[in-house]
Amino acid sequence: MSELVPIDETTWKLLELPSTATLATVLAKHDLWNTFITGAKPLAPQLRMVGQAFTLRYIPAREDLDHNLVFDNTRDPQRLAIESVGPRDVLVIDARGDERAGTMGNILATRMVARGAVGIVTDGCFRDSPSIAAMNIASYARSPHANTNKTIHHPIDVQLPIGCGGVAVFPGDILVGDDEGVIVIPRHLAAEVARAAALQEHREDFILAKVAAGAPLVGTYPPDEATQAEYEEYCKANPKPC
């Protein structure tokens, strides 16, 4: 895998500000329309996620390989992934949208927390989901399921491009998660997108307040020259984030 483009601290901090909806709009301006992971819902709302993708791919389980429920910590790609994630990593699991078994459980999630990972995202399920929801790690899945992963899933590889919830995810891509779900930002665009999205969120907060106070859409959203001038005055007391 080629060396990843560095992400500076300013970019990480700016990505804490905008919603996934705002980020989706900014990415669309870059002609990137398929960036929101469908079906990945937060287990613990209000726990925001900003991190980089560490990928794990499952294929359908095969009885002669998986139904003995043997887990080899030295060779199993799932276990290798858990022992490889680090600070700011988000484990992204391609489960093919299959909801008939969990993709991992609370012991593995606990190990990820100890290693400093910030998130887990799957287009499948988690088992032990109430325990995972209580942990200090953002977690997103389609639904809970008590069955262990190898009843349905066979872990096959790590740190290769995957599909998750209909979105292409490459190792090192930037993921942002909020109460709505998870969006994927190509790593090379992270700084540009973070800045544009933070500025858009700041201006839309101002516009939202005007609409809530009774302002009509015409001239307010999008803002005309008068509203834009009013916004610039607003910024004197409420500085832009960048």
Q: Kindly state the tokens that stand for 228.
A: 């834009």
Q: Model-level pTM? A: 0.95
Whether 155 and 83 have beta carbons less than 8 Å apart is answered as no
Average pLDDT per 10 consecutive residues for the chain, totaling 242 residues: 87 98 98 98 96 98 88 94 98 98 98 98 98 98 96 97 98 98 98 98 98 98 97 97 96
> What is the pLDDT, as a whole number, of residue 1?
57
Whether 183 and 90 have beta carbons less than 8 Å apart is answered as no
> What is the pLDDT, as a whole number, of residue 2?
67
> What is the pLDDT, as a whole number, of residue 69?
79
The structural domains of the chain, with segments of one domain joined by +, span 33-185, 192-237
Closest CA to 104 of 134, 127, 138: 127
> What is the pLDDT, as a whole number, of residue 67?
86
> What is the pLDDT, as a whole number, of residue 70?
82
Options 3.50.30.40, 3.40.109.10, 3.60.21.10, 3.20.20.80; CATH of 33-185: 3.50.30.40
The CA distances from residue 212 to 23, 54, 86, 167, 208, in Å, are 23, 41, 43, 34, 6
Q: Residue 211: what residue type?
A: V
Whether 156 and 77 have beta carbons less than 8 Å apart is answered as yes
